[in-house]
Amino acid sequence: MLIKKPSDIRSSEITPKKVCFDRRKFLGGAAALGAAALTGRVGGELLAPGRVWADVAKLNVTVKSPFSTTEKMNSLDEVTHYNNYYEFGTDKYSPAKYAQALRTRPWKVVVDGEVLKPKTFDIDDLLKLAPMEERIYRHRCVEGWSIVVPWNGYSLSTLINVVQPTSKAKYVQFLTALDKESMIGAREPILDWPYSEGLRMDEAMYPLTLLCFGMYGEELPKQNGAPVRTVIPWKYGFKCCKSIVHIRFVSSQPPTAWNTYAPNEYGFYSNVNPNVDHPRWSQATERRLGDFFKRKTLMFNGYDQVASLYSGMDLRKYY
């Protein structure tokens, strides 16, 4: 099990003794074997359903979003034990184990570039910038799996309006944390660290684009990008940056981690598009985590309302 150093634990995160004790009993018993069978993971660290990492703080979620899907949600266990977070390893199970080393307080987010009012936000102020919403979004990874998650946050446009971009701001660049001490994956030259992404200004301002602080009513688990990430539900999962430290407004299209790594495989736009295959596999279908059968992938991941952002663009060329 992963034990945090006491200095890493905020008082709100500390698990009451009784809960710790009960979990241990649970993990040690037959239930643990059952859990391993269910999740298909044995050996190494045993991660049973529910949290085995230190509890995170509850969020004050006051708004249910009209953008939410009514589809069946995935469980917290499913979406926290099958992740991509290359700074903590390249396989889907490493982030749950290794991301617990990330320190998410104190945490600052610099917002600058082509704006009238650049500002460095403390994460705890950023959390309070707007009412916390629940948005249940479909989320489609470029590798072919999908999830439905109740994310918590507010529209990125809220933050953008605070810093007031100038007319020179055409794109937004996101840069994420890079701490080689805690990030065992980032010690290897896999991607051009820090992981970065970008959006065109109208995409960043689009109401669906979420600045995300939590899921299931609690602060984000570290493997899902604590303390702050983006969620852009009509784009492939890699467009959403985990553990953001810098948001920069720029005049030209910024480089992005995956586009730099393999430009012919990962374009700047990366809109979910069942008609444009990845060079090495089809994008026509997807498997929802927990499902046996695959389902058809929908154009823009089913978020048809964004089509107007791309009118007149050849989406085969701008993949």
Ligand X SMILES: Nc1nc2c(c(=O)[nH]1)N[C@H]1C(S)=C(S)[C@@H](COP(=O)(O)O)O[C@H]1N2
Q: Kindly state whether residue 242 participates in binding ligand X, applying the rule CB under 6 A.
A: yes
Return the residues of window 60-79 that contact ligand X according to CB under 6 A: 79
Asked whether 222 and 202 are in contact (CB, 8 A), the reply is no
The mark string for 70-99 relative to Mo ion (x by CB under 5 A, - otherwise) is --------------x---------------
Number of Cβ within 10 Å of residue 175's Cβ equals 21
**Which of ligand X, Mo ion, none does residue 83 bind to, with CB < 5 to 8 Å depending on kind?**
ligand X
Least CB distance to ligand X at residue 206 (A): 19
Across-strand partners of 123?
Answer: none
Return the residues of window 196-225 that contact ligand X according to CB under 6 A: 224-225
Q: Which of 65, 152, 155, 176 binds ligand X (CB under 6 A)?
A: 176
Nearer of residues 28 and 50 to ligand X, judged by Cβ: 50
Nearer of residues 85 and 121 to ligand X, judged by Cβ: 85
CA-closest candidate to residue 213, choices 303, 150, 296: 150
User: Beta strand pairing status for 132-140 and 61-64?
Assistant: parallel
Q: Kindly state whether residue 237 participates in binding Mo ion, applying the rule CB under 5 A.
A: yes
Across-strand partners of 287?
Answer: 145
Nearer of residues 100 and 176 to ligand X, judged by Cβ: 176
Q: Kindly state whether residue 301 participates in binding ligand X, applying the rule CB under 6 A.
A: no
Q: Which of 56, 115, 141, 172 binds Mo ion (CB under 5 A)?
A: 141
Q: Kindly state whether residue 123 participates in binding ligand X, applying the rule CB under 6 A.
A: no
Q: Which of 111, 115, 141, 156 binds ligand X (CB under 6 A)?
A: 141
Nearer of residues 118 and 290 to Mo ion, judged by Cβ: 290
Indicate the SS3 state at residue 42: coil
What is the Cα–Cα distance from 125 to 121, expressed in whole angstroms?
6
Cα-Cα-Cα-Cα dihedral sign, residues 77, 58, 150, 101? negative
What is the Cα–Cα distance from 7 to 5, expressed in whole angstroms?
5
Q: Which residue number is nearest to ligand X in terms of Cβ?
A: 237
Q: Kindly state whether residue 245 participates in binding ligand X, applying the rule CB under 6 A.
A: no
Asked whether 82 and 97 are in contact (CB, 8 A), the reply is no
Q: Kindly state whether residue 175 participates in binding ligand X, applying the rule CB under 6 A.
A: no
Rounded to whole angstroms, what are the CA distances from 215 to 10, 68, 221? 19, 13, 8
Residue type, 79: V
Residues in the site for ligand X, rule: CB under 6 A? 79, 83-87, 141, 176, 195, 224-225, 237-238, 240-243
